[in-house]
Structure 1
Amino acid sequence: MTKHRREFLAALGATATVGLAGCTGGSALGDSNEMPGVAGETLTLTTTTSTYDTGLLDELNAPFEEMYGVTVDSVAQGTGAALETARNGDSDVVMVHARSLEDEFMREGYGVNRRDIMFNDFVVVGPEDDPVGIGGVGSATEAFSTIADQGATFVSRGDNSGTHTKELAIWGAAGVEPSGDWYRETGQGMGEVLNVANESGGYTLSDRGTYLSQRSEISLVIHVQGPIEGGPELLANPYGILAVNPAAHDNVNYDLAMAYIGYITSPEGQRRIEEYTANGEQLFYPEALSEDPDFQQYVPEGWSGNSTDG
């Protein structure tokens, strides 16, 4: 790391700590006694079902609750529903994994201070005997095309979640509009969809974390890998966290939301994400701390702050 980069990151960290302390009235990671009025409060977090189904939320939230003397009320929904709850002013902070929906939320003025927090990837799973032969194709679009052409059962979230959004993008890239008896939309979370696919002998798209956490209870296997195991980048699955804009809803607990974002993106929060496992497998990979930070994480993708005025 260059001297200038070290100085920059040190300055950035100091600014963030001062800013958070200014919001909370105490140390960024101090105990609740240093934050007058915080102890006893409740933070409402709306989040994707994958963070709940894998057990990650319990691992992350318990230390934060103890640290500040607060309660985190976690509402697990598909990404679309989680963001809609926040649009209605019924959430303080949102942790989701569909960048296009996050960007729309920010452009509408409902979300602020977005941060990258972690990633894993998506995988295409199905029966071990792989009746349509998608194993080893290495392409999600080819796998989806084959499933559609042969009318094999495909179980969809069908709930405007991050996984459903990715699934639709893959169908679009494959030039397929899925419909018919072979295509089953459940409107359920990832864990339930895996159970349905397992019972019906069908295929589905899953985030790797939820699949690994349930692998010992189902007979589905991975037929198309994501980029973590050398698969296509199309199956990448980044997660972000956003505070609900207090200018849009003055009832939101913005200070506590920012304290939570600070905790999740801190070395402590990132360490807990990295060390969290299920069935001996790492489920998520931390992304908030980097020697080469992506500043596009704070704003909608493609946004430019360059003014055309003279």
Structure 2
Amino acid sequence: MDQIIDNALLKQLDEAIKLYIDDDIQCDESKVAVISLLVSYHSRMNDINFLINNHRLNSANVLMRVAFETYVYLKYIFEKNNRMKNRAKAYYFHDFQKFSYYLQHLDQTSITTTDELITDLNKSKNKKVLGPHKNVNNYFNDMRAKFRKCFVIKDQKLDFQLLKDSDKFKKCKIDSWKWYNDDGKTLDFLHLATRLNLIDEYAALYAPTSDDIHSDGLQHQLQFSRNQITVQESFDPLTLVFFRGSILELIQTLGKYIHSSQNRRKVTQRLQKARTIYLARHSLHLLKKNH
């Protein structure tokens, strides 16, 4: 079907990801980050197919936006070999920023207060709550330090003050530093897409779906008849061309980062199969178009 991302292509990517996971290199934070993004990207594309097949086109559009975001993150991480580990680790460690944001705004809710939650977390005997950290302040000191080490640039916004055990939680500027901002200029996702020369793809896959996410365009999708109101959902099948091409690109990239020569050969075979599938689809599309 022209309306979905080829399952045969997705299978080749899935096999390439498994070969990358099973590679003989030691698994550290950077590899965990890459694997999580790869698995997420593959899963998103499968979900897009499911939604299209079930005529949930607005939802498919929204998921394409999420999938594109994941692809951009992968492209950024893989862009430069000498920065790959630091970039992947920055993604891995940036989760502390979400916790910081939550604590910053907790007092504005009726759930509990920031101080009460931190006290409960510090007193918890469940080792899964804070992992190896003895308290919340120790967690932030550790995570901020690890996140900071991922960046070679100097910027005051990356500086932070270590918290003592008795200190109240305090937000630092590093808590708002984008994990992909390794040049001090990549301030948001649009800047990142522009930096990676993906502005056209951003305009096609990311920006237009804002209405679907916020339901701002719903009034334009309503169709009225005398006794019925229906929602007319649609999407452009040409947007799927990007995802098909990205599969080839990712398989090729994974081959460069696999150390086992045997696994590398297998990835090359997967890439050749994927190219054959892609070219056959492209040729069939041109044939249908000409007829």
TM-score, normalised on structure 1?
A: 0.24
Q: Choose between structure 1 and 2 for higher RCO, CA contacts under 8 A separated by at least 6 residues.
A: 2
Bigger helix share: 2
Select the structure of larger CA radius of gyration: 2
TM-score, normalised on structure 2?
A: 0.25
Bigger strand share: 1
